[in-house]
């Protein structure tokens, strides 16, 4: 853990990710007093495989199958007019829906909170859960809305200039979390030193 990879620093390796998901699965079960009425909805892209992994872990503990789905929030985002058009992702609601269920939203990184706000709005069009909870693998701070996660794999303090990159075996071939800085910011110390010796 914490090794440099082509300019990015690895802050969680595969074992760290696995341990975080196992801990979160137990926390979800403990808070819910079991797995009854749970529905896990992953936010594409990487929230979906994380939701499936959590469901597997919860099922192993409780001995019952936990429904898993996907919730695309693309059309509910408040920045649609500010960004280029983006492809729609897949929404899949498990049989039985979400009415009067405990819905656990699962995402990879919590940042401004705007993706989760969009997810809550999307959920309103699907049904009326009894409660909604949030699981994230990484909370990097810098919230713009009053949203917080109920279960967090790792809190990673960041600057706004840094980016957090989650890598999962399902999409990237391996698990890990990288903290990266823009190339310009990485060069600044050397550039500053060079300027200091200029006549």
Q: What is the CA radius of gyration of the chain?
A: 19
- With respect to CATH, is domain 4-196 assigned 3.40.50.720? no
Q: Span 142-151, mean pLDDT?
A: 97
pLDDT bin (cut points 50, 70, 90) of residue 90 is: confident
Q: What is the pLDDT of residue 187?
A: 44
Q: What is the pLDDT of residue 86?
A: 62
Q: What is the pLDDT of residue 95?
A: 93
Per-position DSSP letters for 20-66, written without gaps between them: HHHHHHHHHHHHHTSSTTEEEEEPTTTHHHHHHHHHHHHHHHHSS--
Q: Span 8-36, mean pLDDT?
A: 97
- Asked whether the beta carbons of 49 and 106 are under 8 A apart, the reply is no
What are the sequence ranges of the domains in the chain? 4-196
Q: Which of these, 153, 170, 194, 183, lies nearest to 48 by C-alpha position?
A: 170
- Tokens representing 195 are 């300027």
Q: What is the pLDDT of residue 7?
A: 72
Per-position DSSP letters for 67-108, written without gaps between them: -EEE---GGG-TTGGGS--------BPPTT-STTSEEEEEEE
β-pair type (131-139, 151-155) = parallel
Q: Span 12-24, mean pLDDT?
A: 98
Helix, strand, coil shares of the chain, percent, nearest 5, are 35, 25, 40
Give the pTM.
0.86
Q: What is the pLDDT of residue 195?
A: 34
């Amino acid at each position: 853990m914490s090794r440099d990879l082509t300019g990015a620093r690895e802050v969680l390796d595969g074992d760290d990710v696995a341990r975080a998901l196992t801990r979160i699965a137990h926390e979800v079960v403990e808070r819910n007093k079991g797995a009854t009425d749970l529905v896990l909805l992953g936010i594409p892209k990487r929230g979906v495989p994380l939701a499936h992994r959590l469901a597997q872990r919860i099922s192993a503990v409780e001995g019952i199958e936990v429904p898993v789905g996907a919730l695309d929030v693309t059309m509910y985002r408040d920045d649609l007019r500010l960004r280029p058009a983006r492809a729609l992702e897949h929404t899949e609601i498990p049989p039985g829906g979400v009415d009067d269920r405990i819905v656990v939203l699962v995402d990879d990184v919590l940042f401004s909170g705007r993706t989760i706000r969009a997810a809550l709005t999307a959920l309103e069009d699907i049904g009326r859960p009894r409660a909604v909870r949030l699981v994230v693998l990484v909370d990097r701070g810098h919230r713009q809305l009053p949203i917080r996660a109920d279960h967090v794999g790792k809190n990673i303090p960041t600057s706004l200039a840094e980016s957090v990159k989650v890598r999962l075996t399902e999409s990237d071939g391996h698990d890990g979390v990288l903290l990266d800085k823009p190339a310009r910011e990485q060069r600044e110390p050397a550039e500053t030193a060079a300027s200091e010796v200029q006549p």
